[in-house]
Structure formats: structure tokens, C-alpha cells
């Protein structure tokens, strides 16, 4: 997802507001330290802790599923939690549901606990962008389609009350878009980079994000996950400099046209599945948090 850069003065102002609110102000600002995040906001302490828990749950599940990789961020992550849309608005001119900005010294997340509607979940944006951070920490120069597709795949993450985490929930807007629009050939999808019109132009960006999500979802979920090892081989070959088309044929043992047809059939069908991970204990982190 393209990142909207928050200027340094704006970030500094947010932090100054957080720590130097006048005594006469009605809001109470609370900070919470969890294992991997520092949160501060004018939402209630309970709400801030709930935000911290969701972020820790997401990071915990992601890192458990990829246990062989190192996802430790070299810089801290600060989360600013606003109590309402009106409190968030002065710092959110584009009216985004939530915002994430990585940085060389600190990563920033901003969001509000007041959700505008059921479709407008700030955590979808936060989880999407946090995947980029984790991937970039462990896999340099990841293909753009894979980076964006995986981020969309994990953006729907949620945990229920029974120690179960769910990954890969279908994104209806992507499915509808691809059913109504012509999909890109895989050769074109794989060629998209940060300078491509399909990444930068609004009327073309939709198909890139939707198809990247669909391809990653297909390779992880379809046919009971049998394509997942092939995806790993494909990415490893690309990482060692093998030309993309050659790497694809070696990994999947077919050419582009076969997977293009299977992907089109997958998008047009109604056989989407999710990954469910069940853990021995509930993913609780509240006892490890400190507030002030």
C-alpha cells in the first residue's frame, strides 16, 4: 500500500501534544508499554491496552508461523491512539482510518478507537503496513506483488475467544474488482515496481493490489496449501538472481498460462478458505504491560 508520509514537524507535534497537554485540558493522556510497542493517547487506558493487545497478538501469530525468521525491529514502534474521530481529525487531513509510517529511528502508528463503520477497520491498514515492516526486516528486495499481496492477505487477521487466530479472510472488494476487470498477465504483474503506473496511478493501482492479493491467497490457500512450498522455491530462486520466468517454471513446473487460468477460475469460484491457527493458551499480553 502506498504510504502517505507524515512530516517530521507533524510527528513531533503529535508527541509534544501527547506529553505536554495543559492541565486545564479535558483529556487525560495515558501511556502504555507493551513488549514490542509504546502507546500513548487520550483514549481510555482500557482501550489503549486493547489496541496493544491486538498489535501484540498479530505480531505473535505472524512470528510463530514464520519461526525461522528474525522479525525483531531495529527501531521502536510508537502508537498514538485517539479517543474519537473528532480528536483524530486535526492530525488526519485525508480522513484515513489509520496510518503507519516506518522510519530510520522510530516507526509510527496512529489510529482512533472510534470506528466509523464495520467496513472501516483501522487495523486493516495497520496490519497491512506492519507486514511490510516485518517482511522488509527479513527479506530484502521482496517482489512488490508478493509484498503487497501478503500484506493484504494478513490485513484481515483476527483472533477469537477460543485461542484461535484466523488468517486469509476473503476481501470482497478485491474479488468483485477482479471479476469485473481484466486481470494482468503474470508477466506484467511480476514486472510492476515502485515506478510502475500500476503502482502509482489510481486508475491502474486497483488491479495490481487486487490481483497481488488473489495470487498470494491462491498460492497459500488453494488445493490444501500444496502451492505454498512452490512459492517458497520461487521466491528463493528470484532472490538468488534467477530470471523470473525461469524461476517460475522451475518452482511450479508449469508456465504462466496454466497458473493464470487457475487463478482466474479461483477468483471466479466460491471456494475460498482461511488458515486457522489454534494455540495452547489464549494470546493475552495485558499482564506484561505497564501504564502511567
Class of domain 1-20+32-138: alpha beta
> Rounded to an integer, what distance in angstroms lies between the CA atom of residue 119 and that of residue 1?
18
pLDDT, position 97 = 78
Q: What is the mean pLDDT of residues 157-182?
A: 90
Q: Please count the helices (runs of H) and the strands (runs of E) in the chain.
A: 12, 9
pLDDT digits (tens, 9 = 90+) for 21-69: 443 356 788 999 998 999 999 999 999 998 998 898 888 888 877 766 6
Lowest mean pLDDT among 20-24, 166-170, 261-265: 20-24
CB-CB contact of 54 with 284 (8 Å): no
Q: What is the mean pLDDT of residues 253-271?
A: 96
- Give whole-number Cα distances, 2 to 39, 71, 96, 129, 147, in Å: 24, 22, 13, 9, 12
Residue range 140-282 in CATH 3.40.50: no
CB-CB contact of 165 with 157 (8 Å): yes
- Give the start-to-end residue ranges of the domains of the chain: 1-20+32-138, 140-282
Amino acid at each position: 500500500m502506498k504510504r502517505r508520509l507524515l512530516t517530521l514537524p507533524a510527528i513531533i507535534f503529535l508527541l509534544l501534544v501527547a506529553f505536554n497537554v495543559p492541565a486545564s485540558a479535558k483529556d487525560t493522556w495515558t501511556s502504555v508499554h507493551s513488549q514490542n510497542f509504546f502507546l500513548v493517547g487520550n483514549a481510555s487506558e482500557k482501550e489503549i491496552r486493547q489496541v496493544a493487545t491486538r498489535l501484540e497478538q498479530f505480531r505473535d501469530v505472524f512470528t510463530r508461523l514464520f519461526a525461522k525468521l528474525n522479525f525483531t525491529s531495529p527501531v521502536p514502534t510508537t502508537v498514538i491512539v485517539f479517543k474519537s474521530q473528532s480528536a483524530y481529525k486535526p492530525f488526519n487531513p485525508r480522513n484515513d482510518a489509520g496510518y503507519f509510517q516506518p522510519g530510520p529511528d522510530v516507526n509510527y502508528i496512529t489510529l482512533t478507537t472510534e470506528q466509523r463503520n464495520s467496513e472501516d477497520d483501522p487495523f486493516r491498514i495497520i496490519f497491512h503496513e506492519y507486514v511490510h515492516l516485518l517482511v522488509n526486516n527479513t527479506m530484502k528486495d521482496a517482489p512488490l506483488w508478493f509484498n503487497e499481496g501478503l500484506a493484504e492477505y494478513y490485513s484481515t487477521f483476527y483472533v477469537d475467544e477460543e485461542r484461535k487466530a484466523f488468517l486469509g479472510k476473503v476481501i470482497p472488494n478485491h474479488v468483485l474488482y477482479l471479476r469485473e476487470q481484466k486481470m494482468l498477465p503474470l508477466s506484467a504483474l511480476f514486472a510492476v515496481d515502485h515506478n510502475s503506473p500500476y503502482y502509482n496511478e489510481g486508475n491502474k493501482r486497483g488491479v495490481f493490489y487486487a490481483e497481488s492479493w488473489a495470487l498470494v491467497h491462491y498460492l497459500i490457500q488453494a488445493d490444501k496449501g500444496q502451492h505454498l512450498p512452490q512459492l517458497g522455491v520461487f521466491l528463493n530462486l528470484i532472490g538468488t538472481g534467477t530470471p523470473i520466468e525461469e524461476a517460475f517454471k522451475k518452482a511450479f513446473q508449469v508456465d504462466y498460462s496454466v497458473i493464470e487460468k487457475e487463478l482466474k477460475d479461483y477468483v471466479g469460484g466460491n471456494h475460498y478458505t482461511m488458515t486457522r491457527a489454534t494455540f495452547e493458551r489464549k494470546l493475552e499480553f495485558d499482564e506484561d504491560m505497564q501504564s502511567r
